[in-house]
């Protein structure tokens, strides 16, 4: 059972709000059969969504990239997010939005007959990062990025990400640091950042990574804090020699990685760039 979610939780499915225990989809749904769909995760604090417009714009980009037409406007998506939040008892939570190409006979190419996309939404509780993770930091292991070449699409086909996260779990680490052709890509479900001599760097936003909503947001926070930022390919060597290594995601916000492959990152403790961005992120949430 997902944290804070039980069979009585209210979810949205294809035009209706209903109890999770009553929500049903066809086993022929192309999301189930092919992983043919996209999703997004909008964080909310005190039931107020954080960067909702950006999340919904990304959902619409993902839908467009795989040619699913819902006919929904940005306002319709906002109404869904607010509708789910209004029906939830959870305070800090995530709104999970999931759209598939719908149910159709199992044929790889798109259905030839018009099919209604399946639209699903649910609210899950969001535990803000624990003090131990914020103050002591996380551990990670490196691996080759074995995923496909369209990581910019927030696809529900997450097998590569699932296996990457399990690789970390099996190694007793919190996260993976993935490299593609010798360059940093991202974690299993987060973006990665390195700091060297006070400069914050991230991989370029291309098809090899998902552009996290925190990517542009951290750029904003860094600019406001006078921290120089640079997007460019980052080699394994640079990651190995970084002063700080950070991750960002909707659910983990911003956290430091203090050990990589068993070796300390920089001083082996959270650094000053992390501390500044962490404080600014907390302040933005408190001001919602
Ligand atoms: N994942 N990269 C990947 C592969 C991700 O799955 C995520 C987020 C991110 C960070 O994006 P954002 O800052 O918009 O959360 C980067 C979500 C949280 C998930 O799958 O649950």
Can you list the domains of the chain with their CATH numbers? 10-125 (3.30.470.10), 131-286 (3.20.10.10)
Q: What is the pLDDT of residue 4?
A: 65
Q: Are 118 and 99 in contact (CB under 8 A)?
A: yes
Mutate to test the pocket of ligand 1, among 124, 188, 190 (most ligand atoms within 8 A of CB): 190
Q: What is the pLDDT of residue 8?
A: 73
Q: Are 124 and 134 in contact (CB under 8 A)?
A: no
Burial tier of 164 (Cβ tally within 10 Å: 0-12, 13-18, 19+): buried
Return the residue whose CA atom lies nearest to atom 19 of ligand 1: 189
Distance 248 CA to ligand 1 centre (A): 8
Return the residue whose CA atom lies nearest to atom 9 of ligand 1: 190
Question: What gap in Å lies between CA 161 and CA 207, rounded to an integer?
Answer: 15
Return the residue whose CA atom lies nearest to atom 3 of ligand 1: 189
Q: What is the pLDDT of residue 2?
A: 56
Question: Which residue ranges in the chain fall short of pLDDT 70?
Answer: 1-4
Q: Are 168 and 188 in contact (CB under 8 A)?
A: yes
Is residue 154 annotated as part of the catalytic site, yes or no?
yes
Burial tier of 205 (Cβ tally within 10 Å: 0-12, 13-18, 19+): middle
Mutate to test the pocket of ligand 1, among 62, 168, 249, 252 (most ligand atoms within 8 A of CB): 249
Q: What is the pLDDT of residue 210?
A: 98
Helix axes 272-286, 213-225, angle to 10 degrees: 110
Q: What is the pLDDT of residue 168?
A: 98
| Atom nearest to 209 CA in ligand 1 | 2
Q: What is the pLDDT of residue 165?
A: 98
Binding pocket residue ranges, ligand 1, CB within 6 Å: 41, 161, 186, 189-191, 210, 212-214, 248-251
| Atom nearest to 58 CA in ligand 1 | 14
CB atoms within 10 A of CB 198: 13
Cα dihedral: 256, 259, 265, 271 (round 10) = 30
- DSSP letters for the chain: --TT--TTSEEEETTEEEEGGG----TTBHHHHH--EEEEEEEEETTEESSHHHHHHHHHHHHHHTT------HHHHHHHHHHHHHT---SSEEEEEEEE--B--S-SSPPSS--PPEEEEEEEE-PPPPHHHHHT-EEEEEEE--S-S-TTS-BS--HHHHHHHHHHHHTT-SEEEEEETTEE---SSSEEEEEETTEEEE--SSTTS---HHHHHHHHHHHHHT--EEE---BHHHHHT-SEEEEEETTTEEEEEEEETTEESTTSS--HHHHHHHHHHHHHHHT-
Return the residue whose CA atom lies nearest to atom 12 of ligand 1: 212
Please give the radius of gyration of the chain, using alpha carbons only, rounded to the nearest integer. Answer: 19
pTM: 0.97
Q: Are 44 and 97 in contact (CB under 8 A)?
A: no
Q: What is the pLDDT of residue 6?
A: 79
Distance 98 CA to ligand 1 centre (A): 14
Return the residue whose CA atom lies nearest to atom 6 of ligand 1: 189
| Atom nearest to 217 CA in ligand 1 | 13
């Amino acid at each position: 059972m997902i944290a804070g979610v039980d069979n009585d939780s209210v979810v949205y499915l294809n035009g209706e709000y209903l109890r999770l225990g009553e929500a049903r989809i066809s086993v022929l749904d192309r999301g189930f059969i092919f992983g043919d769909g996209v999703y997004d995760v909008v964080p909310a604090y005190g039931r107020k969504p954080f960067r909702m417009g950006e999340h919904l714009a990304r959902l619409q980009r993902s839908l467009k990239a795989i040619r699913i037409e819902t006919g929904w406007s940005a306002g319709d998506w906002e109404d869904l997010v607010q509708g789910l939040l209004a029906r939830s008892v959870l305070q800090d939570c995530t709104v999970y939005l999931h759209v598939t190409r719908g149910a159709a006979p199992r044929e790889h190419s798109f259905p030839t007959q018009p099919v209604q996309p399946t639209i699903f939404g649910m609210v899950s509780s969001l535990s803000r990062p624990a003090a131990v993770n914020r103050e002591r930091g996380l551990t990670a292991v490196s691996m080759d990025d074995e995923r496909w070449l369209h990581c910019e699409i927030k696809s529900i086909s997450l097998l590569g990400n699932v296996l990457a996260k399990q690789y970390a779990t099996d190694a007793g680490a919190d996260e993976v640091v993935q490299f593609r052709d010798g360059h940093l890509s991202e974690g299993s479900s987060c973006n990665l950042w390195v700091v060297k001599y006070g400069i914050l760097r991230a991989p370029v936003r291309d098809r090899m990574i998902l552009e996290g909503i925190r990517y542009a947001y951290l750029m904003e926070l860094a600019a406001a804090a006078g921290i120089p930022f640079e997007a460019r390919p980052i080699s394994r060597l640079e990651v190995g020699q970084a002063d700080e290594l950070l991750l960002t995601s909707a659910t983990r916000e911003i956290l430091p990685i203090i050990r990589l492959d068993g070796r300390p990152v920089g001083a082996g403790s959270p650094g000053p760039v992390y501390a500044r961005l962490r404080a600014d992120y907390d302040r933005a949430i408190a001001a919602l």
